[in-house]
Amino acid sequence: MKLGRALLPPLWAFLIAMAAASALILAVGGSPLAVYRLLAAGTWGNGYGIGQVLFKTTPLILTGLSVAVALRGGLFNIGAEGQLTVGAFLTAFVGAHAASLPPVVAIPLALVAGAAGGAFVAAIAGALKAWRGAHEVINTIMLNFIVRALMVGLGARLFEREQIHTAPIALSARLPRLSSWLSALHGSAANASLFLAVAVALFVAWLFARTRIGFRIRAVGLSPAAAAAAGISVPRVQLGTMALSGAIAGLVGANFVLGYKYYYEDGFSGGIGYIGIAVAVLGRARPLGVVLAALVFGTLSQGGLAVNAVVPKEIVDVLTAVIIFAVAAAQPTVRRMLVGKEPAQ
Amino acid sequence: MTDLAPPAEAIGCAHLWKRFGQVVANRDVSLSVMRGEVHAVIGENGAGKSTLMRALYGIEPPDAGSVRIGGEIVARPSVAAAIARKVGMVHQHFMLVPTLTAAENVVLGKEPWLGPFVNRRRAEREVAELSERFGLRVDARRLVSQLSVGEQQRVEILKVLWRGADVLILDEPTAVLTPPEVAELFDVLRGLVADGKTVIVVTHKLDEVLALATRVTVMRRGELVASLDPRATTAPELARAMVGRDLAAAPPRPLFTGESRERLRVEHLTVARDDGSLALDDVSLSVRGGEILGVAGVEGNGQSELALALAGLVATGARARVLVDGHDVAHQSVRVRQELGLGHVPEDRHARGAILEMTVEENVRLGRQEADDSALALACKRILERFDVRPADKSVPMAALSGGNQQKVVVGRELLREPLSVLVAAQPTRGVDVGAIERIHAELAHARVAGKAVLLISADLDELLALCDRIGVLYRGRVAGCVDNEFARRAEVRAEVASLMLGAGT
Amino acid sequence: MIATLLSLGFFAAVVRITVPYALAALGGTLSERSGVINIALEGLLLFGAFSSTIGAWFGHGPVAGVLGGVLGGAALGALYALLVVTLKGDQIVCGVALNLFADGITRFLLKATFDSSSNSPRIDAWGHIGTTLILVTVALVALFHVVLYWTPFGLRLRAVGEHPEAAASLGVHPARIRWAALVLAGAVAGLGGAWLAADQRQFVAGMSNGRGYIALAAMIFGKWRPAWAAAACLLFGLAEALQIVLQASGVGVPAWAVQMLPYVLTMITLAGFIGRAQAPRALGKSD
C-alpha cells in the first residue's frame, strides 16, 4: 500500500502527460498510437536504440542524484548545468594531459578533476547560503550564467583552433563502449560511465541509509533549528551538501568526454542539468527512483529523435514539462516529500 | 427553545462543541456576554479559551451548537459574518504586515479611495482621530516594523475599532506586554466600555481579572465551569475553579541538602536581539548539583534567550562565562557543551526539540550522533521504558506519537544523556497532557536527587513552586530577584515571585 | 570613440537591449511582491515572442502582434498561476518546468506552423512599432510604481506578499491577488517577448537567450522595486552596449567579463554586501 502511494503520483503524471502529448499529436494531424509505436520501436525495440537510451540515461542519473542530494539537505540546486559544464571541462583538460599515465590513474584523475570543479561551483552558492543566508536557488541560477560567460571567454582560448571543442583526451583516459562487450548495442554511444552513474546511486543510497553524514544532511534538511539544537553545524552541513551535489554533477563529463566524443564541446549538455530537476522530482529524490526516472527521460530523449520524421521531436520537451507540472501539482507538499519520509500529519 | 438570548446580550453561544481529532476543545459551552461588560474568560493553558473565542469570531465554526451576535443566531458563522455584525478580534499573535505603515495596516482591505488611489491622508487622519479618542498612542505614519510590541497591539485594536466593532475579543492581550503597557491597555479598555463597547478578554492571570473584569467565566478542560462576579470573589477561589483542586494539594518536595558542589555557573551573560536591544543583560546565576533552579517571568523577558544561550544556540557577549562543572563553555559549540554533560530540552518541541518526520530512534540519535548502533538501541529502550512512551516502538515516525509522548522522548533523550551534569529544561511541559506532565515532573525530581543541576524555565508558576528549590525571576533581561522556595511559606513565595515578575524588584 | 558613445546610435542600442529586460523585470517584480517566485520569466519572454510572431503573421500588423504577445504571455502566466496558486505546486519546480515547456512548445509550434526548426520567415508587418513600444515601456515602469505603491490593489498585493494570513484576516483573498499578479506579469513579460520578435522581425528558436534570467537578476539588484529594477536593467543594457562598442574599437575589455556583471552584482546584493536586500517575507511559501 505504501508502495502504491509512492507510485500513484508519478503514474498520474504520466497519464496526464500522455493525454497532453496525444492532443498535440492530433493537433498537427498525426496519430498518437503510431507515434508511440514509433517511439517504442526506436528506443527499446533494437540494440542500438537500447544503447542510445542508456547513453542518454547516464548523465540524467548523475544530474538527478545531484539535485536529489541537495533536496535531502533542504537545498534546491538549480545549478547542475553550470557545475557539470565546469566539471566536464576540467575532466577534458586533465584527460588531454594524461597521455603518460595508465588508465587506472588517468581515468580516476580526470573524474576527480570533474567532481572538484562541480563541487567548487556549487560550494560558492553553498557558502553564501550557509553564512550569508543568500537564496541558493537564485545563486545557482546566477552561477549557471557566470559559468556560461566564463566558458565563452576563458574556455575559448583553450579550444582547438577554429573549433568549439578542446583537444582530444589521451587514449589512456578513454572509457570503453558497452558495445565492446555486448555487440548487440553496436553503434550506440553507451559506455562504461553507466556503471559509474549506478555506483554513485548506490553510494547515495548507502550515504543516507547508513552513515552519520547522511543522517546529518537529512536532519538539516528537515529542520535546521532542531539539527542545530542537536549539535550539528548547520552551515557546514549546508556547504558540504552543496559541494557533494556539485561534485556529482561534475562527474557528468565521464559520459560525454571520457566515453563518447573524447573532448569537451561547447553546449554539449543541452540542458541535462535542468532535466535533472525533473528526474529528481519524478524520482522523489530517492536513488532508486532517480535511476528509474532517468530511464524514463532517457527514453523520451532518444524517442524524440525516433519520431522526428512524423512529429517535431520537441514534443518530448513538452512531455517532460507536463510530467513535472503534473507531479508538482499532484503533490502540493512535493518539497516536503522530497526531503522527508512522509508528510507530517 | 430555551436558547433565546436575553435582550441586552452582545454576543454568546449555546451548546457549542468543537473537536480536534480525539481532543474535545469545547464541550457543550453556553455563554452570554452582556453589552457594556468587560468579560474575562480565564482558564489554564489548554482549557479551550482560545478555541471558544475563535468559534465566536467565526474562524473555526463549531461542530455543533450556535453562535449569537446581537441576540440573533448567526446562520453561517464566518469572519466576514462576525465583522459585518460589528465584532472584532485581536489575536494573540499579531496579524500585521511589518512593511506597511500603521495606517495602511488599519485600512487594508477596506481602503478609502481618492480617485484610483488609496486616500492615504484620510486613512492617516482617521486613524489619528481614533487613536486620540481612545488613548491608543500610535504614529499612524510609521512602519509597523518600527513599532514596539505595545504599539503593535494598539494598531491591532485600532484595526478592529476602525471597522466599527462594538464587541472586541482580545486573546491573551497582556502576554507580551510590560507592566506599564498592561496598565495603559486596561485604561484603554475601560475607556472603550465607557464608550458603549463590549470587551471580552482571554487570560490566565488572576490579578488582571480582578483588576479589570465586570464578569468572569472560568473554563476547565473545554467546559465552562463557573461564571462569577469578580467583586464578590477572591483570587484563591478563582484559582480553585480554574485548576479544579486546591493548589496546596501537591506533595511536599524532599528537602535539598545544600551540600553538593556547584555544577552550573553563569556570569555576565548578555544576549543581543537582531535590532541591537538586549534580550539578556548581564545575567549571573548558579545551580548546585541536586538542586532545581526555577526561572520565572512574563513571556518575552529573556527566558527563551537564556535557554538558547546556555545551549549554545545564540551568540553571547564577550564577557560572558558559562561554567559547566568548572569548564567555561560560553563560546563553545553545542557539541562541546553536550560532551561536557549539558542537556537541553528546547522550548519549542516542533521547531527545535524533535523532527517529526524522523523515527523515534532517529530523534534519539539527534544529539547522540557518535553513539554506535547498540548504544543507541539501548538508549532508546531505556527512554521508552523509563518514560512509558506509547507506542513503545522506536521505529515509528515521531509524528505518529501524541504531543505528550513526543515530549517524553525529547526529555528522556536529554535526561538520559551520558554524561549529564546540567539540564536546561525550557517549558518542558507546555502543551502536553496531564499524564506526560506527571512523568516529566517525576523524572526532573529524580534527576535532582541523582545530583544533577537542573535549570527549569517555565511560564507555569505552579510547576515551579512544586519542583524548584529556588525561583529566580527574569524581568526585562535582568535577574529581578531570587526567592527560596520554602514549602511552608508557599503562598508568600508565590506572591513574592509574582510581584518580581511584574517588575517590583527593579 | 567618445563620439560613438554620445551618438544617437549608441543610445538606441542601449534602449534596444534594455526594453525586454525591463518589461520582464516589471513582471517579475509584480509576481514576487505578491509572494510568488518567478523564475519562469525566461519562458514568458520566449512564449510572448512566439505568440506575437503568430499574431503579427496572421493578423498582418503590429497591433495584432503586440496583442498576440501580451495575450500569449498572460495565458502562460495563467498556467503558472493555476499550478502554483490553485494547485499549490512548488514554485521553483514549476518555474523550471514552465521554461522547459515554453522552449519545447515554441519549437514544436514553429515547426508545425512554419515548417522550420530554427526560425520563422521574416515578418515585415511589424512596421515601425519600436518607438511606440519604448514609450509604452517607460509608461509601464511609471504605472507599475504607481499601482504598487499608491493604489488599493498595490497595497493588498504587497500585504499578501509579506503576510498573507494578515491580509486574509481582513477579507483580502491572497489567491485572487496572486492570480492577478501572475497573469499581469505574464502579459508584461509577453510584451517584452513581442519586442524581441519585432526587433528582429522574426521568431528564432530560443531567442530569449537568457534575458529572462538577466531580468530576474535586475529585479533582485533593484531590490524588488519596479523603478529600481528598471534602472538596473538600464545599467545592464548600458554595460552590454558599451562592451560591444569597446570590442569594435579594439579596447580590451573581455566580453565575458561584461556578460558576467549582472549575475555577479546580483550575488553580491543577495549576500547582503550592498545594503540589505529584503525579499518579500512570504516569497515561495505556497500557502
Question: What would the pLDDT profile of A84-102 be if each residue is shown by its tens digit?
Answer: 999 999 999 999 998 899 9
pLDDT at B45: 66
> pLDDT by residue (tens digit) across C229-248?
999 999 999 988 888 887 77
- Chain B residues with CB under 8 Å of A345 CB are 399-400
d(CA B89, CA C209): 52
Asked if residue B391 has a cis previous peptide bond (ω within 30° of 0), the answer is yes
For residue A75, what are the domain limits? 2-339
pLDDT at B316: 92
Least confident of B215-224, B451-460, C244-253: C244-253
d(CA B261, CA B266): 15
In terms of CA atoms, which chain A residue is nearest residue C255? A153
CA torsion C3→C4→C9→C10, rounded to 10°?
-120
Domain boundary among B183, B217, B248: B248
Say if B99 falls within a structural domain.
yes
Asked if residue B419 has a cis previous peptide bond (ω within 30° of 0), the answer is yes
How is chain B split among helix, strand and coil, in percent rounded to 5? 35, 25, 35
d(CA A126, CA A73): 11
pLDDT at B255: 59
Nearest-Å Rg of the Cα atoms of chain C is 19
d(CA A199, CA B225): 66
Mutation target among A24, A136, A140, A142 for the C interface, most CBs of C within 10 A: A142
Q: Does A341 touch chain B (CB under 8 A)?
A: yes
Spatial CB neighbours of B360, under 8 Å, sequence gap ≥ 6: B380, B384, B389, B393, B394, B395, B396, B397, B398, B401, B409
pLDDT at B48: 86
Whether pLDDT at A339 is above 60: no
Q: Which of C87, C117, C214 sits opposite A329 (nearest CB)?
A: C87
Give the pLDDT mean for C208-227: 93
pLDDT above 70 as % of chain B? 93
Specify the number of domains making up chain A.
1
Residues B303 and B221 in one domain: no
Q: Is A3 exposed, middle or buried (0-12, 13-18, 19+ CB in 10 A)?
A: exposed
CATH number for the domain harbouring residue B365: 3.40.50.300
Residue numbers of C between 92 and 111 with CB closer than 8 Å to A: 92-94, 96-101, 103-105, 107-108, 111
Spatial CB neighbours of A229, under 8 Å, sequence gap ≥ 6: B311, B313, B334, B344, B346, B352, B353, B366, B367
What residue type is B309 in one-letter code?
A
> How many contacts (CB atoms, under 8 Å) link B and C?
57
Q: Where are the beta strands (DSSP E) in B273-421?
A: 278-288, 291-296, 321-324, 327-328, 342-345
Mutation target among C144, C169, C224, C283 for the B interface, most CBs of B within 10 A: C169
Give the pLDDT mean for B291-306: 88
Residues B211 and B275 in one domain: no
Question: For residues A297 and A274, is the Cβ–Cβ distance under 8 A?
Answer: no
Say if A345 falls within a structural domain.
no
ipTM strictly over 0.85? yes
Most confident of B218-222, B312-316, B461-465: B312-316
> What values do phi and psi take at C105, rounded to 5?
-70, -35
Q: Name which of B233, A168, B223, A135 is nearest C271 in CA terms.
A: A135
Chain B nearest C-alpha distance from C34 (Å):
13
What residue type is C247 in one-letter code?
Q
Chain A nearest C-alpha distance from B3 (Å):
37
Residues B218 and B264 in one domain: no
Does the distance separating the beta carbons of A325 and C97 come in below 8 Å? yes
Does the distance separating the beta carbons of A212 and B366 come in below 8 Å? no
- Chain C residues with CB under 8 Å of B99 CB are 158, 162, 281
pLDDT at A343: 32
Give the pLDDT mean for B450-479: 90
Say if B338 falls within a structural domain.
yes
pLDDT at A1: 42
Give the pLDDT mean for A223-246: 96
Does the distance separating the beta carbons of B113 and C170 come in below 8 Å? no
- β B470-475/B478-484 pair status: antiparallel
> How many contacts (CB atoms, under 8 Å) link A and C?
149
In terms of CA atoms, which chain B residue is nearest residue A218? B358
Whether pLDDT at A333 is above 80: no
Give the pLDDT mean for B336-351: 92
Whether pLDDT at B248 is above 60: no
Considering only residues A287 and C253, tell me which one the structure prediction assigns the higher pLDDT: A287
Residues B340 and B380 in one domain: yes
Kindly list the strands in the beta sheet with B470-475, ordered across the sheet, starting from the edge strand earlier in the chain: B342-345, B422-426, B453-457, B291-296, B470-475, B478-484
pLDDT at A5: 61
Least confident of A155-164, C166-175, C215-224: A155-164
Average pLDDT, chain C: 91
Chain B nearest C-alpha distance from C150 (Å):
5
Least confident of A339-343, B16-20, C8-12: A339-343
Q: Does A35 touch chain C (CB under 8 A)?
A: no
The secondary element (H helix, E strand) that includes residue B462 is: helix B461-467
Question: For residues A285 and A68, is the Cβ–Cβ distance under 8 A?
Answer: yes
- Chain B residues with CB under 8 Å of C162 CB are 97-100
Does the distance separating the beta carbons of C279 and A142 come in below 8 Å? no
Whether pLDDT at A3 is above 70: no
This prediction's pTM: 0.87
pLDDT at A340: 44
Whether pLDDT at A49 is above 50: yes
Say if A259 falls within a structural domain.
yes
pLDDT at A115: 97
- The residues with which B294 forms a beta bridge, in sequence order, are B456, B471
d(CA A42, CA A306): 5
Mutation target among C143, C170, C176, C278 for the B interface, most CBs of B within 10 A: C170
d(CA B209, CA B207): 5
Say if B253 falls within a structural domain.
no
Residues B239 and B304 in one domain: no
Say if A231 falls within a structural domain.
yes
Chain B nearest C-alpha distance from A220 (Å):
10
Does the distance separating the beta carbons of C107 and A317 come in below 8 Å? yes
Does the distance separating the beta carbons of A232 and B351 come in below 8 Å? no
Q: Which three cell numbers stand for residue B224?
A: 465552562
**In which residue are the cell numbers 517575507 written?**
C281
Does the distance separating the beta carbons of A229 and B352 come in below 8 Å? yes
> pLDDT by residue (tens digit) across B259-289?
678 999 999 999 998 777 889 999 999 999 9
**Band (B149; pLDDT cuts 50, 70, 90):** confident
Give the pLDDT mean for B363-374: 88
Whether pLDDT at B383 is above 90: yes
pLDDT at A162: 65
Does the distance separating the beta carbons of A219 and B355 come in below 8 Å? yes
Kindly list the strands in the beta sheet with B278-288, ordered across the sheet, starting from the edge strand earlier in the chain: B278-288, B262-272, B321-324, B327-328
d(CA B397, CA B502): 42
Domain boundary among B248, B279, B309: B248
Residues B134 and B209 in one domain: yes
What are the CB-based long-range contacts (under 8 Å, 24+) for B2-8? Answer: B3/B66, B3/B68, B3/B73, B5/B32, B5/B68, B5/B71, B5/B72, B6/B32, B6/B34, B6/B71, B7/B71, B8/B34, B8/B35
- Chain A residues with CB under 8 Å of C214 CB are 145
Whether pLDDT at B36 is above 80: yes
Q: Which three cell numbers stand for residue B149?
A: 510590541
Q: Which three cell numbers stand for residue C43?
A: 519562458
> pLDDT by residue (tens digit) across A242-262?
999 999 999 999 999 999 999
CA torsion B463→B466→B470→B472, rounded to 10°?
20
Q: Which of C87, C97, C260 sits opposite A149 (nearest CB)?
A: C260
Q: Does A157 touch chain C (CB under 8 A)?
A: no
Chain A nearest C-alpha distance from C98 (Å):
7
Q: Does A5 touch chain B (CB under 8 A)?
A: no
Say if A280 falls within a structural domain.
yes
Residues B454 and B335 in one domain: yes
DSSP structure class, residue A30: -
Chain A nearest C-alpha distance from C129 (Å):
31
CATH number for the domain harbouring residue A219: 1.10.3470
Residues on chain C bordering chain B, Cβ-to-Cβ distance under 8 angstroms: 146, 150-152, 155-156, 158-159, 162-163, 165-167, 169-172, 281
Q: Which three cell numbers stand for residue B174?
A: 497582556
In terms of CA atoms, which chain C residue is nearest residue A152? C256
Q: Which three cell numbers stand for residue A142?
A: 546566477
Whether pLDDT at C276 is above 90: no
Q: Does A237 touch chain B (CB under 8 A)?
A: no
Whether pLDDT at B306 is above 50: yes
Residues on chain B bordering chain C, Cβ-to-Cβ distance under 8 angstroms: 79-80, 83, 91, 95-100, 104-105, 108-111, 113, 116-118, 159
Q: Does C274 touch chain A (CB under 8 A)?
A: no
**Band (B254; pLDDT cuts 50, 70, 90):** low
Does the distance separating the beta carbons of C256 and A150 come in below 8 Å? yes
Say if B118 falls within a structural domain.
yes
> How many contacts (CB atoms, under 8 Å) link A and B?
69
Chains within contact range of chain B (3+ C-beta pairs < 8 Å): A, C
Q: Which three cell numbers stand for residue C183?
A: 497573469
Mutation target among A317, A319, A339 for the C interface, most CBs of C within 10 A: A317
pLDDT at C274: 64
- The residues with which B33 forms a beta bridge, in sequence order, are B11
**Band (B249; pLDDT cuts 50, 70, 90):** very low
Q: Name which of A144, A149, A187, A163 is nearest A92 in CA terms.
A: A163
Does the distance separating the beta carbons of B108 and C159 come in below 8 Å? yes
**Band (B298; pLDDT cuts 50, 70, 90):** confident
Residues B40 and B186 in one domain: yes
Q: Name which of B40, B304, B60 is nearest B172 in CA terms.
A: B40
Does the distance separating the beta carbons of A222 and B369 come in below 8 Å? no
Does the distance separating the beta carbons of B97 and C163 come in below 8 Å? yes
- The residues with which B87 forms a beta bridge, in sequence order, are B167
Residues B393 and B345 in one domain: yes
Considering only residues B240 and A176, tell me which one the structure prediction assigns the higher pLDDT: A176
> What values do phi and psi take at B478, rounded to 5?
-120, 155
- The residues with which A134 forms a beta bridge, in sequence order, are none
Chains within contact range of chain A (3+ C-beta pairs < 8 Å): B, C
Q: Which domains does chain C have, with CATH numbers?
A: 2-119+128-270 (1.10.3470)
pLDDT at B190: 92
pLDDT at B336: 93
Residues B216 and B340 in one domain: no
Q: Which three cell numbers stand for residue C23?
A: 518589461
For residue B102, what are the domain limits? 9-248
Distances (CA, A) of B131 to A138, A275, B100, B110, B142: 43, 57, 18, 18, 14
> What values do phi and psi take at A153, rounded to 5?
-85, -65
pLDDT at C275: 60
Q: Does C162 touch chain A (CB under 8 A)?
A: no
Mutation target among A71, A216, A232, A236 for the B interface, most CBs of B within 10 A: A232
Q: Does A230 touch chain B (CB under 8 A)?
A: yes
Residues on chain B bordering chain A, Cβ-to-Cβ distance under 8 angstroms: 311, 313, 333-335, 337-338, 344, 346, 351-358, 362, 365-367, 369-370, 397, 399-400
